Chains A and B, each alone.
Chain A
Amino acid sequence: MTTPPSPSLEIDPELARRILTDFIRSEIHRAGFKRGVVAVSGGLDSAVSCLLAAQALGPENVLALRMPFRTSPAASLDDAEAVIRASGVAARTFSITEAAEPLLHLVPEGDRVRRGNILARLRMIVLYDQSAEFGGLVVGTGNKTEVLLGYTTLYGDSACALNPLGDLYKTQVRQLARHLGVSESILAKPPSADLWPGQTDEGELGFTYADVDRLLFLLVDERRSPDEVVAAGFERSFVEGVLDRIRRTQYKRMQPPIAKLSNRTVGYDFLYMRDWGT
């Protein structure tokens, strides 16, 4: 009989801040850049990425982009504005409404997934274009929870040059956000990808971040078996649903597979770090 696991997702936020700002600075400078670009939505993750990038690179070297669609809540724009002011970074606002409408015209009103993907990918296009204009790399905002659940749009919100938050669960990003002084307004509101009016992550996923983060921590970080986490009090259907989701979305966490033909193939036996030579 093993001890029932009791996960602690508590982090040392100052240590995390130190490591992540070093990471942002190192990766951007070693790629030959000084600047970074962040899509700031008014949500928690992008607030943290923006504040970390400003600390790592200096606020004058960071561009925050707000990219509202016509249905985006005005409160999100205000929250994004507060992050921009607090971090002192440069900012631009591009509405994606005009670019989105002709594409959304092709998609049935009820197909929220396709419509949401179009918005996420349009934001990616603006973000990458602005990164070229500003001369900076795209700093990502995806956390470990959404990476593991595959709760992202491929080539959309997941597109970035480096991802400082990808090893922090949502509840850990929240601890870091508090440490960085993110406003109560952002900390308190329900997380949303802002892909349709009234959307919330937890409503769409069908569970809370607090619950799934504890489950993921046990399954992934602590390598507990499904039976062990069920014994620890998680519903079996919840556990199996999350495991299935992780397996089904593995492709979102990888480069597309290359069919091996030669003796040396990128990804299999042509192996170098990005930081090669720097």
Chain B
Amino acid sequence: MTTLTLALAQINTRLGDVPANLEKHLALAADAHARGADLIVFPELSLTGYMLQDLAPTVAMRPAADPPALRRLLEASRELDIVAGFVEDDDAHRLYISSAYLSQGEVVHIHRKIYLPTYGLFQDGRFFGVGSTARGFTTRFGRMGLLICEDFWHVSPPYLLWLDGAEMLVCVSASPGRGLAAETGLESARWVEDISHAYAQLFSIFVAQTNRVGLEDGLTFWGAASVFAPDGRRLAQGPFFEEAVTLAEIDLAEVARLRSRLPLLRDERPDLIVRELDRLQRSGSSGGSGHGAT
């Protein structure tokens, strides 16, 4: 089955109140299921809220310990697949910003946020550990990749997921609005819109992104979930600033059809990337220091 009805949930959250946020997840998942959705995607840290700071350890979950919130979401995932965001404790008290893909009562995949913005208003790196993998995973609809906010502001995680066979990128965020200007609205909103659109075409892939709404102190999250098809068509657009669940009909077979006439992935040269990256690393002229190097 390559067709699915995707539901992108852009929700407000209560900061640090997992039980209240969980109830909202379950209610919206049931509602989306009733509207025919096969997969509902919630934003980054959807079970906890975003600017957790010292709340992070108090809301963390260890998936291996069968925490009640996860158990109830897994039960709900027997009706439709669910992507939800949470603080993950890795059993050694290292905390991550994670999102889990749940289906048929099972945890199919957990992605740990790789790029933790720690600049400007952002403090992720102060409170969380860095994820170290970008892996595609196989769902009952096809192969997908899951990324969290800053992960898709960097080109490398979407690129790696493309090479790993993903037919759809699912990008979740808690992105605060900033850079208000006359012509372009919020710069951060335009940015996410532009790169989502670009990744769809660059990688002949579906890109589905959702972002939370509401405020935390003076930060306003702008919502505006969107879905782009591999040829760049916009398939769905959620409203700005308001809670909403936006549905989109997707046929992942469209990826195969487009790639048969535009074989960018077939012709991609990972060997060239590896060779040139290796040279840049050895000559010390590559941009990033890499995590753990500082």
Chains A and B form a bound pair: yes
Asked whether A278 is an interface residue with its Cβ less than 8 Å from the other chain, the reply is yes
- Cβ-defined contact, A278 with B220, below 8 A: no
- Cβ-defined contact, B220 with A273, below 8 A: no
Per DSSP, chain A at the interface is loop
Interface 0/1 of A134-160, CB less than 8 Å to B: 000000000000000000000000000
Interface size of A by CB at 8 A reads 23
Asked whether B241 is an interface residue with its Cβ less than 8 Å from the other chain, the reply is yes
B126 to A, closest residue via Cβ:
A271
Asked whether A260 is an interface residue with its Cβ less than 8 Å from the other chain, the reply is no
- Cβ-defined contact, B51 with A273, below 8 A: yes
Shortest CB distance B190–A (Å): 12
Shortest CB distance A217–B (Å): 11
* Given A12-B182, A276-B16, A277-B17: A271 in contact with B53 (beta carbons within 8 A): yes
B189 to A, closest residue via Cβ:
A15
Asked whether B217 is an interface residue with its Cβ less than 8 Å from the other chain, the reply is yes
Complex CA–CA separation, A277 to B59 (angstroms): 11
Which B residues, 26 to 84, have Cβ-Cβ distances below 8 Å to chain A? Answer: 51, 53-55
- Cβ-defined contact, B214 with A272, below 8 A: no
- Cβ-defined contact, B180 with A12, below 8 A: yes
Chain B residues lying within 8 Å of A18, measured Cβ to Cβ, are: 241
* Given A12-B185, A19-B220: A272 in contact with B53 (beta carbons within 8 A): yes
Interface size bucket, B side?
A: 20 to 34
Asked whether B171 is an interface residue with its Cβ less than 8 Å from the other chain, the reply is no
- Cβ-defined contact, A277 with B14, below 8 A: yes
- Cβ-defined contact, A8 with B181, below 8 A: yes
Complex CA–CA separation, A272 to B216 (angstroms): 11
Stretch of A22-30, A67-75, A195-203 contacting B (4+ beta carbons < 8 Å):
A22-30
Complex CA–CA separation, A277 to B220 (angstroms): 17
- Cβ-defined contact, A278 with B14, below 8 A: yes
Complex CA–CA separation, A270 to B53 (angstroms): 9
* Given A8-B181, A275-B215: A22 in contact with B16 (beta carbons within 8 A): no
Complex CA–CA separation, A276 to B17 (angstroms): 9
- Cβ-defined contact, A12 with B181, below 8 A: yes
Asked whether B15 is an interface residue with its Cβ less than 8 Å from the other chain, the reply is yes
Shortest CB distance B228–A (Å): 23
Chain A residues lying within 8 Å of B15, measured Cβ to Cβ, are: 273, 275-278
- Cβ-defined contact, B180 with A11, below 8 A: yes
Asked whether B177 is an interface residue with its Cβ less than 8 Å from the other chain, the reply is yes
Asked whether B186 is an interface residue with its Cβ less than 8 Å from the other chain, the reply is yes
Complex CA–CA separation, A70 to B272 (angstroms): 79
Interface 0/1 of A260-278, CB less than 8 Å to B: 0000000001111111111
Which A residues, 225 to 248, have Cβ-Cβ distances below 8 Å to chain B? Answer: none
Complex CA–CA separation, A8 to B187 (angstroms): 14
Interface 0/1 of A13-42, CB less than 8 Å to B: 001101100110011000000000000000
Chain B residues lying within 8 Å of A271, measured Cβ to Cβ, are: 53-54
Instruction: List 22 contacting pairs A-B, 8 Å CB cutoff, sorted by A.
Output: A10-B181, A10-B183, A11-B181, A11-B182, A12-B180, A12-B181, A15-B180, A15-B186, A19-B241, A22-B215, A22-B220, A23-B215, A23-B218, A27-B215, A269-B54, A271-B53, A271-B54, A275-B215, A275-B216, A276-B16, A277-B14, A278-B14
Given contacts A271-B53, A272-B55, 9 further A-B contacts (CB under 8 A): A11-B180, A11-B181, A22-B241, A26-B214, A272-B53, A272-B54, A273-B217, A275-B215, A276-B16
Interface residues of B (CB under 8 A from A): 14-17, 51, 53-55, 177, 180-183, 185-186, 214-218, 220, 241
* Top-7 shortest CB links A-B: A10-B182, A271-B53, A26-B215, A271-B54, A273-B217, A273-B51, A19-B220
